[in-house]
């Protein structure tokens, strides 16, 4: 089955399920279609070969990333702690014929991150936002200099991201900007280490 057909099917499933599902742990909480388009574009723009996603759900966003890394001969590592959702994701990866491009780590993100090989060119963060601050040093370590981290829900749940954003702003090599796509995407760029470099965009965003 084509990736486009599966993506369209998962969009409908996500909307139908999440509209009537009262138990939040059973909602798919997928990214929006335009966020998927944006992520696929970004994989190509930065020529990402190694991509890390935290928060797989049933694999909707992973399929956008993985279908794009086929053009860079890359690989996607994706982390999900919910076994039922991980099983659904694995089935969707098989149906799309993209299983060889994806490593699904079924675990708590904090421990799974130690099994992801550095450097990572692009990180997509879409999980339990209260855990981001604890994960931040490892994510920073994994992200290559010149790499990009994208954080979903930057507009829809800005208050819950405040501590993480403060941490980002305290790091000399990181600069960020907010893109009003979907639920709001915070783009964080890790600059190469250079003691003589002055980043005007980063200092403006910190003032």
Q: For 106, list phi and psi in degrees, rounded to 5.
A: -95, 100
Nearer of residues 179 and 191 to ligand SAM, judged by Cβ:
179
Query: Closest approach of Cβ 196 to ligand SAM, in Å?
Result: 38
Per CB under 6 A, does 121 bind ligand SAM?
Answer: no
Q: Which is nearer to ligand SAM, 54 or 143 (CB)?
A: 54
Candidate residues 96, 109, 139, 174; the one interacting with ligand SAM per rule CB under 6 A: 109
Q: Give the residue among 123, 136, 135 at the shortest CA–CA distance from 53.
A: 123
Examine residue 81 and tell whether it contacts ligand SAM (CB under 6 A).
Answer: yes
CB-based contact 147:139 (threshold 8 Å):
no
**Does 116 sit near ligand SAM (CB under 6 A)?**
no
Dihedral sign computed on CA atoms, order 110, 79, 167, 160: negative
Task: Specify the stretch interacting with ligand SAM by CB under 6 A; choose among 75-83, 157-165, 176-184, 198-206.
Answer: 75-83
Tokens of 107: 């675990």
Binding status of residue 92 toward ligand SAM by CB under 6 A: no
Beta strands in 73-131 (DSSP E): 75-80, 102-106, 120-125
Convert residues 124-153 into a mask of x (bound to ligand SAM by CB under 6 A) and - (unbound). --xxx--x----------------------
Q: Tell me: does residue 60 bind ligand SAM (CB under 6 A).
A: yes
Q: Does 199 bind ligand SAM (CB under 6 A)?
A: no
- Please give the Cα distance from 9 to 13 (Å, whole number): 6
Percentages (nearest 5) of helix, strand, coil residues in the chain: 50, 20, 30
80 binds ligand SAM (CB under 6 A): yes
At 50, give phi and psi (nearest 5°): -115, 120
Q: Which residues bind to ligand SAM, rule: CB under 6 A?
A: 29-31, 55, 57, 60-61, 79-82, 85, 108-109, 126-128, 131
């Amino acid at each position: 089955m084509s990736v486009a057909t599966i993506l369209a099917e998962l969009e409908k499933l996500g909307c139908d399920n999440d509209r009537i599902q009262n138990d939040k742990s059973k909602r798919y909480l997928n990214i929006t279609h335009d966020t998927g388009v944006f992520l696929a574009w970004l994989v190509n723009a930065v020529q990402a070969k190694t991509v890390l996603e935290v928060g797989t759900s049933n694999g909707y966003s992973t399929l956008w990333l993985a279908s794009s890394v086929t053009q860079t001969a890359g690989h996607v590592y994706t982390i999900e702690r919910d076994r039922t959702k991980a099983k659904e994701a694995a089935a969707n990866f098989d149906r799309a014929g993209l299983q060889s491009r994806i490593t699904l780590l079924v675990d708590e993100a904090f421990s799974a991150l130690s099994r992801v090989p550095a450097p990572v060119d692009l990180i997509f963060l879409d999980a339990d936002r209260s855990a981001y601050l604890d994960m931040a040093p490892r994510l920073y370590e994994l992200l290559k200099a010149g790499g990009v981290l994208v954080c979903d829900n930057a507009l829809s749940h800005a208050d819950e991201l405040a501590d993480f954003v403060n941490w980002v702003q305290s790091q000399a090599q990181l600069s960020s900007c907010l893109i009003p796509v979907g639920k709001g995407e915070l783009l964080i760029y890790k600059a190469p280490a250079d003691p003589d470099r002055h980043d005007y965009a980063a200092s403006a965003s910190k003032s």
